[in-house]
Amino acid sequence: MFEGPLQDLIDEFSRLPGIGPKSAQRIAFYLLKADPEDIDRLCSALGAVRDGVSFCRICNNVSREEVCRVCADSGRDKTTICVVEDAKDIQVIERTGEYSGRYHVLGGALDPLANVGPKDLAISSLLQRIGGVLPDLDGEKAPEVAEVILATDPDTEGEATSSYLARLLKDFPELVVSRLASGMPLGGDLEFVDELTLSRALSGRLTL
């Protein structure tokens, strides 16, 4: 439609999730008139993320330090691990105020169609944590884990991932493995569930 660099920019923005050609065009024209410093800031933020965001050594959450704020918080219950697909799901669960344990970020869900298998997710580190192999803060021995809450998305991939993990975790007979209770609409995305529904789902979780 347009010529040269402007069209390139529209094309690039159109590739991002949730941005259609119309929005991409609007953003490109906005940037055309924007302060060059704003564009530089956006570019350097992109560069910083490309060069690597660091992850918590324990739970795989996005973190500036070696250990994320949740894992470093000594006031939290170290015996419970809530397993989520993405770091952004942590924020949603934190907002309910119903959970005071730690997390484990898988980095996605099993999805054979997209070639995402168990090896692409942070499953082995979860087993190491539960097995007490992974050292905790300041080189301390890993805390004993009493319960694992499977809080993957209530969609096909998330359900499959939870079933897979539940099967693996049968190897730890003492461990209580639970799944977020129903209350969440199936086929949805955990990130967009309202706090109240998520609170209900947390307090009514079912032992598998």
Q: Is 150 in the site for a second copy (CB under 8 A)?
A: no
Q: Is 27 in the site for a second copy (CB under 8 A)?
A: yes
Map 131-179 to HEC letters. Answer: HCCCCCHHHCCCCCCCEEEECCCCCHHHHHHHHHHHHHHHHCCCCEEEE
CB of 190 to a second copy, least distance (A): 13
Query: Can you tell me which of 49, 74, 75, 174 binds a second copy, judged by CB under 8 A?
Result: 49
| Candidate segments 9-17, 140-148, 149-157, 176-184, binder of a second copy by CB under 8 A | 9-17
Number of residues near a second copy (by CB under 8 A)? 53
Q: Is 15 in the site for a second copy (CB under 8 A)?
A: yes
Q: Is 26 in the site for a second copy (CB under 8 A)?
A: yes
The number of residues in the chain equals 208
Q: Is 194 in the site for a second copy (CB under 8 A)?
A: no
For residues 190 and 151, the answer to whether their CB atoms sit within 8 Å is yes
Residues 72-111 close enough to bind a second copy by CB under 8 A: 86-88, 91, 108
CB of 174 to a second copy, least distance (A): 34
CB of 68 to a second copy, least distance (A): 7
DSSP E strands in the chain: the ranges are 77-84, 101-105, 147-150, 176-179, 206-207
Q: Is 119 in the site for a second copy (CB under 8 A)?
A: no
CB of 106 to a second copy, least distance (A): 13
Query: Can you tell me which of 59, 60, 63, 105 binds a second copy, judged by CB under 8 A?
Result: 63
Cα distances (angstroms) measured from residue 28 to each of 8, 33, 48, 78, 116: 9, 9, 22, 47, 33
Q: State which residue, 3 or 140, has the beta carbon closest to a second copy.
A: 3
For residues 84 and 59, the answer to whether their CB atoms sit within 8 Å is no
The span from the CA of 92 to the CA of 207, in Å, is 22
The span from the CA of 164 to the CA of 173, in Å, is 16
- Backbone angles phi and psi of 148, in degrees to 5: -120, 125
**Which residues form the interface with a second copy (CB under 8 A)?**
1-6, 8-9, 11-13, 15-19, 23, 25-33, 36, 38-43, 45-50, 53-54, 62-65, 68-69, 86-88, 91, 108, 191
